[in-house]
Structure 1
Amino acid sequence: MKKWNRIIIGLILLAIVGFIGWSVIAAGRQNNTQKVTAAKVTQQNITATITTTGTVTATRTANLTGSGLVTAVNVKVGDKVSAGQILATYNQTTNLTAPFGGTVTAVNIASGQADTAQATGKAAITVADLSDLRVQLNLTKSEAAQVKVQQAVHLTYLNHTYTGDVAEVDPTATTTTSATGASTPTLGAQVAFDRQPQGLVPGFDIDVTITVDQANNAVTIPQEAITYDRNNQPLVYRIVKGKARRTTVTTGLQSATRIAVTKGLRPGETVILSPSNQLHDGSAVTTQ
């Protein structure tokens, strides 16, 4: 009887030791499991854009100049004028006339005084056609490489939005010098509105988003899923049966938030977002 008691006690102790050992192993495994944030690989249209700032301008602006004694000024800033209308008279014989219908936007002469506007680098009178507005862009080298005529444009001014397209791109760049003396080459371009806007003020800035490329039914992932190896090659970590699987990918078009993957992933797979340095191929993971 005592022998059986010893056997039973031994079996109980063995079971306890086994349970404790299993618990320790399980706890270790659980502690080694990394919590990650993940997202599904999706198939969708993706659009690449560039965002910049433009200046609202009148398509037609005439800077009129004269010389001599001004004997009459017939307009003031804000006046609407028609083509051929006499705006000012010099020495009672020479007239400044409007070359087209528009709005007087500047008057830098006065009746009874000599015209000194040109000597100060100004026009005597400026007329602009405010019924035909465009947006002037000054593109950087990287932006200019992507922008082409007829690309779609989305514009935002205060709480108003407009649509248009790239109407013109200059053939050559110009260089401007900042107050600090730095020279920056830019390429000029113009955006035409689909419908002429109301309430826009020439000279003010407007936010511009240009669609430079797009792909339909592309395999895409969030940008934060992409990381890079030592050779700067893009890769992701897929989640396969609770394990992180390092996967080299080929990337394509990139939008503001997503990036197209042309090789290495299929729709429906799960990828880890912002993978940590502690994550390796085969790491146990769980999504949070």
Structure 2
Amino acid sequence: MDVQLAKKKLRGGVRWVVASGVLTLVCGGGWWLYASNFGARSQAIAVRAIDVELGTIEKKIDESGIVEFGNQQTLKSPTDATVDTLWVEVGDRVDLGSELLRLRDSQQQLGLNEHQLKIRQQELTLAYHRDRLQNARLAVEAAETDLAAKIAQTTRSEQIQLEAKALEIEKQQLTVANTQAKIETAQGQLDAARQELEEVEALVEKGYIPSNELRAAQDEIRNGQDQLREAELDFAIAQLELKNLQLDRQRLQQERQDKLAQQESEIRQARSALREAQATLANVENEVRTADIELENLELERQRLAKELQANIVTSPIFGTVLDLFVKPGDGVERGKDLLVLGDPSREVVKLQLSTLNAKQVEVNQAARVSLIGPNPKTFEGRVRSLSPLASTSATDSSGRQSGQATIAAIVELDRPSNFLIPGSQVSVEIILQRREEVVVLQMEAIQRDDREPYVWVRADDGTAQKQAIALGLEGIVEVEVTEGLKPGDRVILPPVDVPLQPGIPVIEEDEQGQESAIERPNIKSKRQKAKRKRQKIDEVLMS
């Protein structure tokens, strides 16, 4: 029993030893198979490589907008009225100022007629006041003329008479003086004759001279006395005439003073009449000005009413096409109700609502591409024509709901009409912020960063991966401009996702790795078959 037990233990130990050796052999074979089949692959990592080429890089933003024709606008009713006549249909071409439809408002027409009647009445009132003004001016002129005539009529004839009378008095005074001189002369001659008579009488008494000389001397005395009396008479007459002249002058002076007093009263009356006429003229002028201003106000009001009535004829503000009609004859419309839509088909625009972040990057005249939303869309070139300086929160999103987010209104205009896009349809818009042509362009996935410094992986001449520092320029969505470090014709490695690259690691491009795998595939298969047979033998030993 002991011997058999010992043999059994011996056989069990031998089996464990054999199994351990087979296991060791299998493990070693596995390691050898792994080393022989996959060692080379661990030494050379399969990677994809791309060529560096020249191309165009764009930095752009994508937005959506609504297509409209140029100057597209919705005309609204200027007042509460009824559509009387419609002169256009959808699709009609219209010129600037063309009459589109007429609205009827009977109240406005009645108000205009009443106002025209008021204007006519005011024109008659103004004409009446102007006639009064003319009469007042004539009255003032007449009063001025009368006053001037009365002032000029200052008894010129009486003055002339007084002057003539003064001359007569002066002449008479000379006559009086002359006659007085004659009296003095006659008196002197008489005195001389008397003296001579006394002498002659004395000589006659003495008998010295004859008596006839005495008679002659006596005759001289008588003649002297006659001359003296005649001179005295002439003097008295001259004095009487002088007094008469002086009395006449006094009478004329009194008459002149009386007439001057009467004329002064008339002049005062004429001046008062002139002042009254001037006051009347001023009042009438004020009434004319007031009536004129009232007429101007009425005319302005008439023009306003006529303009409002004329505004009821809706005209085209542009050269364009009727895109839509919302009313028909007989419809009642309220002020501000949509009537029709006009647009200029020679111009097509897209209205956008940009986010404030995108709007900061957009500038007027930047290039843009417009396309329909969908597969294989047609693309149309255009440019940014306007950008609102004011943000708005009243914009709606693509579904028509209030977005509540501040947006900036922008307009993109197509370079030429598409004759394809439909006004009111939603389109996709690419705004080209920056564009570079004929520059080195690389896919974004090839760019790596080390402490924020960009680089790419390249395959060196010895077949290992190496870092190549580069400088980047304009960055697009999937591509980037390389300004330094690469040139056209270079090849860049795209690092695999599952295996990190390290400088010096052997790499092989996928095409080359595929060729080597095809050569090594039979050897790998035979080695796997040998390993399978070895595992089967081990299993047989263990079973026995």
Is the contact made by 1:236 and 1:271 (CA closer than 8 Å) also made in structure 2?
yes
- Which of 77, 96, 105 aligns to 1:91? It is 105
- Which of 279, 304, 319 aligns to 1:101? It is 319
Equivalent residue, structure 2, for 1:237? 457
In 1, distance between residues paired with 2:79 and 2:501? 77
Equivalent residue, structure 1, for 2:94? 81
Is the contact made by 1:66 and 1:115 (CA closer than 8 Å) also made in structure 2?
no
Equivalent residue, structure 1, for 2:420? 199
1:71–1:279 CA distance, 2 compared to 1 (3 A): closer
Deviations 1:14-55 (CA, angstroms, capped at 9, x unpaired): xxxxxxx9x958962433321000112234443333333222
Is the contact made by 1:56 and 1:136 (CA closer than 8 Å) also made in structure 2?
yes
* AA aligned opposite 1:191: V
Structure 2: which 5+ runs fail to align? 1-31, 110-311, 511-544
- Which of 383, 393, 396 aligns to 1:165? It is 383
1:131 has 2:346 as partner: yes
Is the contact made by 1:33 and 1:286 (CA closer than 8 Å) also made in structure 2?
yes
1:69 has 2:81 as partner: yes
* AA aligned opposite 2:501: L
Note the C-alpha offset of 1:213: 1.4
Equivalent residue, structure 1, for 2:509? 287
In 1, distance between residues paired with 2:56 and 2:345? 38
In 2, distance between residues paired with 1:256 and 1:163? 20
Equivalent residue, structure 1, for 2:409? 188
In 2, distance between residues paired with 1:256 and 1:195? 28
Note the C-alpha offset of 1:279: 1.7
* AA aligned opposite 1:185: A
1:76–1:180 CA distance, 2 compared to 1 (3 A): closer
Is the contact made by 1:50 and 1:212 (CA closer than 8 Å) also made in structure 2?
yes
TM-score where L is the length of structure 1: 0.76
1:56 has 2:276 as partner: no
Is the contact made by 2:76 and 2:339 (CA closer than 8 Å) also made in structure 1?
yes
Deviations 1:243-285 (CA, angstroms, capped at 9, x unpaired): 1113443322123542112334344332212443522222211
TM-score where L is the length of structure 2: 0.43
Percent identity over the alignment is: 28
Is the contact made by 1:117 and 1:123 (CA closer than 8 Å) also made in structure 2?
no
Equivalent residue, structure 2, for 1:249? 470
1:160–1:243 CA distance, 2 compared to 1 (3 A): same
In 2, distance between residues paired with 1:117 and 1:199? 35
Equivalent residue, structure 1, for 2:371? 156
Is the contact made by 1:87 and 1:95 (CA closer than 8 Å) also made in structure 2?
yes
Note the C-alpha offset of 1:139: 2.1
In 2, distance between residues paired with 1:162 and 1:285? 45
Deviations 1:62-115 (CA, angstroms, capped at 9, x unpaired): 422232331514144444333231412222653222223333334334433431
Between Structure 1 and Structure 2, whose CA radius of gyration is higher?
A: 2
Note the C-alpha offset of 1:224: 1.5
The SS at the match of 1:184 is coil
In 1, distance between residues paired with 2:495 and 2:386? 41
The count of residues paired between Structure 1 and Structure 2 equals 263
The SS at the match of 2:480 is strand
The SS at the match of 1:130 is strand
Is the contact made by 1:149 and 1:169 (CA closer than 8 Å) also made in structure 2?
yes
Equivalent residue, structure 2, for 1:9? none
The SS at the match of 1:280 is coil
In 2, distance between residues paired with 1:275 and 1:56? 45
* AA aligned opposite 2:78: G
In 2, distance between residues paired with 1:71 and 1:165? 40
Q: Please, which moves more after superposition, 218-227 or 99-108?
A: 99-108
Is the contact made by 1:52 and 1:207 (CA closer than 8 Å) also made in structure 2?
yes
Note the C-alpha offset of 1:222: 1.6
1:141–1:86 CA distance, 2 compared to 1 (3 A): closer
In 1, distance between residues paired with 2:402 and 2:317? 38
In 2, distance between residues paired with 1:69 and 1:77? 22
Q: Structure 1 residue runs of 4+, over 6 Å off?
A: none
Q: Please, which moves more after superposition, 271-280 or 237-246?
A: 271-280
The SS at the match of 1:206 is strand
Note the C-alpha offset of 1:212: 2.0
In 2, distance between residues paired with 1:181 and 1:205? 17
The SS at the match of 1:202 is coil
In 1, distance between residues paired with 2:403 and 2:371? 30
Note the C-alpha offset of 1:237: 1.4
The SS at the match of 1:131 is strand
Looking at both structures, which has the greater relative contact order when contacts are Cα pairs under 8 Å and sequence separation is at least 6? 2
- Which of 439, 444, 449 aligns to 1:218? It is 439
The SS at the match of 1:224 is helix
Note the C-alpha offset of 1:125: 3.0
In 2, distance between residues paired with 1:45 and 1:131? 32
Deviations 1:167-206 (CA, angstroms, capped at 9, x unpaired): 2222232223668875322222222222222132111122
In 2, distance between residues paired with 1:68 and 1:266? 73
1:278 has 2:500 as partner: yes
Q: More strand per residue: 1 or 2? A: 1
